[in-house]
Amino acid sequence: MKIFKFGGASVKDAEGVKNVAKIIQSEGNSDTLVVISAMGKITNAFEEVVDAYYNKSEELALKLNFIEEYHKNIMNALFDKNDAVYQEIDILFGELGWFLARNTSQRYNYVYDQIICFGELLSTKIVSAYITKIGIKNTWFDVRNYVKTDSNYRDAKVDWKLTEDIITKKVDTSQLNITQGFLAGNDTENTTTLGREGSDYTAGIFAYCLNAESVTIWKDVEGVLNADPRVFSDTTLLRQISYEEAIEMAFYGASVIHPKTLQPLQKKEIPLLVRSFINPKEPGTRVSKGALLEPYTPCFIVKRNQILVSISALDFSFMVENNISFIFQKLHEYQLKVNLIQNSAISFSVCVDNKFNKFDDFFQDLKNEFKMEVQKEVDLFTVRHFDDKAIKTIEEKGVSLLTQVNKETLQMVVKAI
């Protein structure tokens, strides 16, 4: 069985849906499982719904109306007005409205997951219906009944034993299956999510459980590039990447491959292909057992909008194990992802990702016990297999605030000029 994953950019409009259908038609309309994300930027639109639900109730109806019109406009270009899919989409919007009206929970992350899931449910219903309309038999199923997790909403941990048992028993590997990325369910039948960009991970989960022959992630780029073309003008297509190198790149924040996707694939040596839905005949990039990197070239990874904080003791004493252990405990408590660490005798510096907007609380908690110097809105550049030219390229991006170098990797925190 083959696993395909299509992201939001591939189904952002009616032409995108038609293109996805053509790819499925030519590449795998049987023994294939297709994982699909929310359409276009709809996840962001649903995040605005969550915000309006909590903070701007007068805008809630407007936000919901935008999402409904967005999907209906796509549907109007794909279907006849009396097609059954319209009723299915209306049912989903009815379920969303019911939740918004009846919910009594004040737990933000729980509410977030119950709302955000409708993006994937809507997109997969539309794609499945269109594929059926053009004569390709397929089975749509709700991934929340297959991928099971704990109740850590917005970043749930997979129950691998239960998930594998359900998937191997319930998925018909002889046919075309359509399901959602990013979503899962817990033991109380509530929606959980696997973290932003978690649709790649969903594909990896199904591949592992079904012993798939390959996973293909269809992107709007030709494959995995050695740098983000939006940041660097000169980029190179990487034709082959080893699992180990891809995991290193993902660890440092490479956006093409989700960090958690590769590990289940490596365990069973399932190749990961990154191909272009714009030019589907091109081979793209293959991540598998084999050559470290082909061609061998510096690879640049950028993490925007980071926070660099330097922490030192108020009495200028050494920063030793007990201080550092306490700080890490607080970083964990406030869900601040650490992307770089550097310490000296009297200071400890970390570059963190403020994904859950808790840095200010972290700062307030520690400011009376430590001296803290903060630089917000900095960029973290990581270069794998760097050379002198690569270093110069980064230095031209702004003022270097901190640099860390090891044998294969250079990291530099930069403040744009």
| Rg (alpha carbons) of the chain, rounded to whole number | 23
What is the pLDDT at residue 291? 84
Quick: pLDDT tens for 377-398: 999 999 999 999 999 999 999 9
Residue 17 has pLDDT above 70, yes or no: yes
Alpha-helical runs (H) found in 84-197: 85-102, 108-116, 118-133, 160-170
| Confidence band, pLDDT 50/70/90 cuts, at residue 21 | very high
**What CATH superfamily classification does 299-415 receive?**
VC0802-like (3.30.2130.10)
pLDDT in tens, 85-98: 999 999 999 999 99
Q: What is the pLDDT of residues 284-338, one digit of tens each?
A: 999 999 888 999 999 999 999 999 999 998 888 888 888 899 999 999 999 999 9
Q: What is the pLDDT of residues 327-365, one digit of tens each?
A: 999 999 999 999 999 988 888 999 999 989 999 999 999
pLDDT at 417: 79
List the structure tokens of 257.
């491959």
Query: What is the structure's pLDDT at 323?
Result: 86
- Residue 172's closest CA among 125, 138, 126? 138
Helix (H) or strand (E) holding 315: none
Residues of the chain above pLDDT 70, percent: 100
What is the structure's pLDDT at 227?
A: 94
pTM: 0.85
Strands 337-343 and 347-353: antiparallel
pLDDT bracket for residue 274 (50, 70, 90):
very high
Q: Which residue has the tokens 């459980």?
A: 209
Report the pLDDT value the prediction gives residue 256, as an integer from 0 to 100. 67
pLDDT number for residue 28: 73
- Please give the sequence-ordered ranges of beta strands (E in DSSP) within 141-251, or none if there are none: 176-180, 183-185, 191-193, 214-219, 240-242
Residue pLDDT, tens place only, 166-221: 999 999 999 999 999 999 999 999 999 998 678 999 999 999 999 999 999 999 98
**Model pLDDT, residue 383:** 97
Which of 177, 168, 118, 119 minimizes the C-alpha distance to 146?
168
Residues 210-269 have pLDDT tens digits of 999 999 999 998 999 999 888 898 999 999 999 999 989 988 888 768 778 999 999 999
Domain boundaries, the chain: 2-219, 299-415
CATH 3.40.50.620 fits 2-219, yes or no: no
